[in-house]
């Protein structure tokens, strides 16, 4: 691993992850106006990421010990985004370009570039990525000052990097025709994201949603494909199905894992040929619709059990997007709660103006097993039941948490010290007490770590 010559710290940082030494040298001089850092392996890349926090990374998928494949490259991509979710990673590869591109974007990469490289094009992509990073950072800062989360995809309120990554992925695939599978627990906002994808796609047709778990098995085929008059008892007129209604638009199949196995065959045929036949009909009807699916079930386990067709999975899941739970979106519970309170107070109890401190603390500590839907319901009930201007923890039917030993205090200096202690202890544990390894993990020098250990009286 090597760093660039000493440059002004005001220059934007760029990390190049490339194991070809010759190409690495070319890339160092291809990007003008950046402070360049380079890495040849995943370990080196993560070390630089922790120490320098570059906003933009270019990543070659063919890294040792798998230089002829993509396994190590994708592992590096996932680790980078796990540590710094807002990093813009531009993936470059010559291995299985389309498959690698789809997988990289689904994993959260900003862009994909197929080798061989055109350095001017790459420089342009890097500039765009850096500009987007700056804009998003400014938006998060403005949202934090305003006390309101970013609205992404026109609808969703969030300031959590984990959810912003999801939104960016949806925005990037919106203008394509690939099928998208949204995986997430109930109440995480899958339909809201599907609507956002439809609106971002620019498709002129309607957004048509159907919950496959809410319709009896014997009626689901008719709901999806429609029927001709007289096709069965009660079919008094010809009726279009949801697929046909979504012509020119987007069809959202919620809880797709609940589609009966026999009906999966007919759905697969539509996805392959893009034509349908209504029940009782003989006419083939061409339908142009974008398919977006969602489920909270483990479809891979269902495939293994023979309850879901593997070939249908591959047709529906060209891009798979995993939706984080509310507990995995730090800070979003408070942002969403304020949004819901404002809306419900206007409708039901105008005297309510905000949340009491014990309510905010209770929401921060609650795991939200029902996710956003549970939060919305609790706030709605609390607004109705509140006697004063502030909603309490009791109004939310939550217990105000007692401050535990080691909990972060509100004093900023003490909070920083407490946070430092926790992170240092965690790093020491992972490194089994090795000072050099701990410093490397923390992205600081050994002398700095020794100073912190002394400052916080953490020396053995």
Using one digit for the tens of pLDDT, what is the confidence trace for 85-104?
A: 889 999 988 766 778 888 88
Choices 3.30.70.360, 3.40.50.1970, 3.40.30.10, 3.40.50.300: CATH for 158-323: 3.40.50.300
Residue pLDDT, tens place only, 369-388: 999 999 999 999 999 999 88
Mean pLDDT of 303-330: 94
Whether 246 has a pLDDT exceeding 70, the answer reads yes
Whether 6 has a pLDDT exceeding 70, the answer reads no
Res 405: pLDDT = 45
Q: Do the first three CATH levels of 2-142 and 158-323 match, i.e. the same topology?
A: yes
Weakest mean pLDDT among 56-60, 105-109, 254-258, 295-299 = 105-109
pLDDT, mean over the chain: 86
pLDDT band at 38 (very low <50, low <70, confident <90, very high): very high
Relative to beta strand 290-295, strand 250-254 is parallel
What CATH fold (topology level) applies to the domain 412-455? Answer: Arc Repressor Mutant, subunit A (1.10.10)
Angle at 338 between CA 334 and CA 343, to 5 degrees: 150
CATH architecture of 327-391: Orthogonal Bundle (1.10)
pLDDT band at 1 (very low <50, low <70, confident <90, very high): very low
Whether 186 has a pLDDT exceeding 90, the answer reads yes
Mean pLDDT of 188-197: 94
pTM of the model: 0.66
Res 7: pLDDT = 42
What own/partner pairs with CB < 8 Å and gap ≥ 24 does 394-402 have? 395/359, 396/359, 396/362, 396/363, 398/359, 398/362, 398/363, 398/366, 399/362, 400/358, 400/359, 400/361, 400/362, 401/361, 401/362, 401/364, 401/365
DSSP state of 279: B
Res 307: pLDDT = 94
Residue pLDDT, tens place only, 405-448: 444 445 566 667 777 877 887 777 676 678 888 888 888 888 88
Res 433: pLDDT = 72
Whether 460 has a pLDDT exceeding 60, the answer reads no
> Which of residues 408 and 354 earns the better pLDDT score?
354
Domain 2-142 carries which CATH code?
3.40.50.2300
Domain boundaries, the chain: 2-142, 158-323, 327-391, 412-455
What's the rounded Cα separation, in Å, for the pair 73 and 307? 33
């Amino acid at each position: 691993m090597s760093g660039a010559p000493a440059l002004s710290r005001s220059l934007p940082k760029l990390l190049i992850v490339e194991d070809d030494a010759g190409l690495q040298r070319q890339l160092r001089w291809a990007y003008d106006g950046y402070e360049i850092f380079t890495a040849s392996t995943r370990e080196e890349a993560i070390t630089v990421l922790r120490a320098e926090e570059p906003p933009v990374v270019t990543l070659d998928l063919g890294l040792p010990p798998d230089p002829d494949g993509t396994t190590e490259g994708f592992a590096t991509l996932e680790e980078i985004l796990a540590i710094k979710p807002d990093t813009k990673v531009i993936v470059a590869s010559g291995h299985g370009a389309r498959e690698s591109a789809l997988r990289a974007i689904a994993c959260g990469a900003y862009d994909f570039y197929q080798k061989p490289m055109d350095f001017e094009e790459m420089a342009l992509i890097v500039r765009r990525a850096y500009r987007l990073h700056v804009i998003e950072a400014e938006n998060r800062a403005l949202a934090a000052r305003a006390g309101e989360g970013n609205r992404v995809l026109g609808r969703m309120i969030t300031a959590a990097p984990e959810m912003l990554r999801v939104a960016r992925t949806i925005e990037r695939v919106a203008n394509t025709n690939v099928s998208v599978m949204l995986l997430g627990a109930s109440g995480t906002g899958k339909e809201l994201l599907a609507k956002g994808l439809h609106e971002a796609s620019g498709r002129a047709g309607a957004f048509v949603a159907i919950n496959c778990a809410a319709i009896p098995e014997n009626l689901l085929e008719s709901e999806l494909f429609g029927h001709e008059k007289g096709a069965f008892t009660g079919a008094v007129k010809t009726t279009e199905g949801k697929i046909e209604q979504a012509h020119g638009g987007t069809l959202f199949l919620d809880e797709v894992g609940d589609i009966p196995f026999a009906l999966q065959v007919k759905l697969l045929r539509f996805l392959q040929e893009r034509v349908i036949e209504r029940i009782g009909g003989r006419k083939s009807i061409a339908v142009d619709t974008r398919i977006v699916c969602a489920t909270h079930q483990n479809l891979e386990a269902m495939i293994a059990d023979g309850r879901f067709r593997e070939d249908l999975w591959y047709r529906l899941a060209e891009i798979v997007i995993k939706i984080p739970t509310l507990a995995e979106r730090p800070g979003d519970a408070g942002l969403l709660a304020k949004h819901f309170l404002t809306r419900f107070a206007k409708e039901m109890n105008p005297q309510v103006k905000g949340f009491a401190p014990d309510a905010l603390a209770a929401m921060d500590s609650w795991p939200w097993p029902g996710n956003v839907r549970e939060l919305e319901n609790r706030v709605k009930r609390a607004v109705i039941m509140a006697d004063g201007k502030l909603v309490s923890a009791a109004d939310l039917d939550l217990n105000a948490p007692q401050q535990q030993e080691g909990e972060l205090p509100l004093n900023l200096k003490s909070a920083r010290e407490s946070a430092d202690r926790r992170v240092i202890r965690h790093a020491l544990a992972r490194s089994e007490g090795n000072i050099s390894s701990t410093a490397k993990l923390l992205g600081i020098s050994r002398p700095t770590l020794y100073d912190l250990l002394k400052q916080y009286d953490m020396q053995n």
